[in-house]
Amino acid sequence: MKYLILAMCLLALPAQAAPKPINAERLVDAIYRAEGGDKSHHPYGILSVKVRNKAEARRVCLNTVRNNYRRWKKAGAKGDFICYLGNVYAPPNVSNDPSGLNRHWVKNVSFYYRAS
């Protein structure tokens, strides 16, 4: 399964040399939807810190996206950023996915990001 995720990320590599800029606000909206939206008990999928409300969860998510985008660019911006973020945001070893991999996170977030 790890190889399937890796293959999906490699196929998403842009043909151009420069990385495509990410719209952090749109990406956070996509994460919110992928994490269950209004029906979620953990808005934006925030589990690592205790948040008081949806607005605080959004700020934590936005900070996570921005900080990791900077890290990704500093590391050479290899591969697709959403794949990179998926390994940080929804790491396979702590996923609720019975297979031990959160293989749907990248696919779902990418879908909602492109659709917005």
Q: Map out the domains of the chain as residue ranges.
A: 2-12+21-115
pLDDT-based confidence at residue 26 (cuts at 50, 70, 90): very high
pLDDT in tens, 85-113: 998 887 766 555 555 457 789 999 999 99
Give 67's contacts (C-beta < 8 A, 6+ positions apart).
none
* pLDDT digit string, tens, across residues 55-88: 999 999 999 999 999 999 999 999 999 999 998 8
What SS3 string covers 16-76?
A: CCCCCCCCHHHHHHHHHHHCCHHHCCCHHHCCCCCCCCHHHHHHHHHHHHHHHHHHHHHCC
The pLDDT of residue 39 is above 60: yes
Mean pLDDT computed over every residue of the chain: 84
